[in-house]
Amino acid sequence: MDIKEHLINQVKVAEIVSDETVIKDEETGKDLLGTLYYSGYDRVIIHERNITPSFFQLKNRMAGEILQKFSNYRVRLAIVGSFDKHTGKSIQDFMYESNQGKQVNFLQSPKEALHNLSA
């Protein structure tokens, strides 16, 4: 895993770059948050492909636990990808509601995420 730093409008944004799954479970999600937080980042982009598919199954509460930690530490998160395959009503509603705020957003491209996180 690498952290690619972007500087947009004097705002530091970390983009996680990896060919592997970075968030495999609650523990790896919290570890990632800790690494980023203590490295001075409060805005993060992670690609959907780097998150285990079970994250998007809300019944297991993984997403809620991890995203609550990001919220507690006031680290804004943009998850970038194509979310068409997540067709369940619960996850669709969750992503829609998340996108109404600024803390966690589900976006289509890194460019869109950078724009969103730098505002």
CA 12 to chain centre: 15
What's the mean per-residue pLDDT of the chain?
95
- Average pLDDT of 68-85? 95
Domains in the chain, CATH or no CATH each? 2-117 (3.30.750)
Residue 45 burial (C-beta neighbours within 10 Å; 0-12, 13-18, 19+): buried
Look at residue 119 and tell me whether its pLDDT is greater than 90. no
Residue among 69, 76, 68, 56 at smallest CA distance from 119: 76
Look at residue 4 and tell me whether its pLDDT is greater than 90. yes
- pLDDT value, residue 72: 95
- pLDDT value, residue 87: 86
Give strand ranges (E) for the chain. 2-8, 11-17, 43-47, 76-80, 104-107
